[in-house]
Structure 1
Amino acid sequence: MERLVVEKEIAKALKKNKKGSILFVDDFLGYGNPESIKKALLRLKQKGLLVRLAHGIYLFPKIDKELGLLFPSTEDIAKAIARRDRARIVPTGVHALNKLGLSSQVPMKVVYLTDAAARSVKVGKRTISFKKASPKNLLAQGEISSLVIQALKTIGQKKLDNDTLKRIHLILENEKEENIVDDAKLAPAWIKKILTQSIK
């Protein structure tokens, strides 16, 4: 009887969420103990009210008439995990290059620096990895300048060509000057030089 009450209460609570919301076991802790919540969420998944994205991560599905079930992006899932863990995250590697338009490659494994615990989450064929980093690597204020720092680290000083450098300077025109100035202080010397040159 108790498990049915938990399931019913969670089903009722779901309706208060926006379609397409990413949800966790932690979001329903007020309705019972963690084990009974996990079981209730699995039953709601079996009934089609939820879609299981990964272990302990669910989607309150949004259905498009033409496209069908709309899945969240890898980034949406990573941001939802960061919100739950009250953690900061910074995209790195090919993912940072892709976000800036410097690479058309869409990585199946995306890596974020974080101040929370290191972990990997498998979502279908995609993997989201959170890599524990020192606070300095997470202090950048500007979204664009932060991505540029990570993109340049991925490219490497010796492999950076003039064409990519010009594109980076153009991209940085969309960042606030004060963010570039502050974030340059956190970057390695060669990247700091590129950032400061962009505001001259």
Structure 2
Amino acid sequence: MQSINKKAISRIYGRGRGWAFSPNDFVEDFSRDQIENALSGLCREGKIRRIYRGIYDYPKFSELLQQELSPDFDQVAQAFARKFNWRIQPSGDAALNLLGLSTQVPGRLVYLSDGPNRQYDIGNYTLEFKKSALKDVGFKYRASGLIVQALKALGQERVDDTVIAMLSKQLDDAVCKRVLKDTVTATGWVYETIKRVCGGRG
């Protein structure tokens, strides 16, 4: 049992603080009983944290506050998606937050999903998965969907030079090339904005 705990924690530590996961992330190497027992034990030892039934994280720690920080909502969403084999796409405020266009973490974070409608209350926020048409979650690259959803959440009238500059800074030439090809089916003004963000780098 000790060696299973050691193997599990070594993989968790390897992912770094903030990583969220479920037993499903380990079933290739361990039986379900083994990994569930190991994760329960690591939880009791305070090495990992249980944040929802069947979902854990390796919490980030604030030296300044001398306490564990809230779970990383995007990591948690991805852990749910892997657990249930959903494809997901951050929507609205979640997309804005991940791209640094909003620093407020809203109380409700919505992800589009090709799975069923579900919502989970985690700490101070609600994580909601909304069943959506595949075209909304079907981009090949995560960056593509993130930018499309953030622009839609802002709305055309709120996209100014500052927003363009902030997005542009986050994309290198290779990503621009992939995103431009990937989002060609996006709404007219959204695609035109992405072309401005990439500024001829595609």
> Structure 1 length normalisation: TM-score?
0.71
Distance in 2 separating the partners of 1:49 and 1:144? 32
Match of 2:129 in 1: 130
Whether the 8 Å contact between 1:140 and 1:186 is mirrored in structure 2 is no
Match of 1:84 in 2: 83
Distance in 2 separating the partners of 1:63 and 1:155? 32
Match of 1:183 in 2: 182
Match of 1:52 in 2: 50
Whether the 8 Å contact between 2:59 and 2:71 is mirrored in structure 1 is no
Match of 2:12 in 1: 18
What do residues 75-99 of structure 1 show as CA deviations (whole Å, max 9, x unaligned)?
Answer: 1111222222232221111221122
In structure 2, do the counterparts of structure 1 residues 90 and 9 end up closer, same or farther at CA, with 3 Å as the change threshold? Answer: same
Q: Specify the code of the residue in structure 1 equivalent to 2:148.
A: I
Q: Specify the code of the residue in structure 2 equivalent to 1:179.
A: R
| Identity of matched residues, % | 30
Distance in 2 separating the partners of 1:17 and 1:173? 30
* Cα distance, 1:73 vs structure 2: 0.9
In structure 2, do the counterparts of structure 1 residues 172 and 136 end up closer, same or farther at CA, with 3 Å as the change threshold? Answer: farther
In structure 2, do the counterparts of structure 1 residues 163 and 89 end up closer, same or farther at CA, with 3 Å as the change threshold? Answer: same
Distance in 2 separating the partners of 1:61 and 1:155? 31
Whether the 8 Å contact between 1:121 and 1:129 is mirrored in structure 2 is yes
Whether the 8 Å contact between 1:90 and 1:113 is mirrored in structure 2 is yes
What do residues 40-76 of structure 1 show as CA deviations (whole Å, max 9, x unaligned)?
Answer: 9668755656532112223456778773445541111
Distance in 1 separating the partners of 2:163 and 2:60? 40
Q: Specify the code of the residue in structure 1 equivalent to 2:98.
A: K
Q: Which runs of 5+ in 1 are unaligned?
A: 1-6
Q: Which runs of 4+ in 1 moved over 4 A?
A: 7-16, 25-29, 40-50, 60-66
The number of equivalent residue pairs is: 190
> Structure 2 length normalisation: TM-score?
0.70
In structure 2, do the counterparts of structure 1 residues 117 and 171 end up closer, same or farther at CA, with 3 Å as the change threshold? Answer: farther
What do residues 109-165 of structure 1 show as CA deviations (whole Å, max 9, x unaligned)?
Answer: 2111122222112211122111112221123244444322111111122x3253345
| Structure showing greater Rg | 1
Whether the 8 Å contact between 2:94 and 2:110 is mirrored in structure 1 is yes
In structure 2, do the counterparts of structure 1 residues 23 and 189 end up closer, same or farther at CA, with 3 Å as the change threshold? Answer: closer
Give the 3-state SS of the residue equivalent to 1:18 in structure 2. helix
Distance in 2 separating the partners of 1:154 and 1:71? 25
1:1-200 matches, within 5 Å, as: 14-19=8-13, 22-26=20-24, 27=26, 30-32=31-33, 45=43, 48=46, 50-59=48-57, 67-69=66-68, 72-157=71-156, 159-164=157-162, 166-167=164-165, 170-171=168-169, 174=172, 176-198=175-197, 199-200=199-200
In structure 2, do the counterparts of structure 1 residues 30 and 154 end up closer, same or farther at CA, with 3 Å as the change threshold? Answer: same
Distance in 1 separating the partners of 2:168 and 2:41? 51
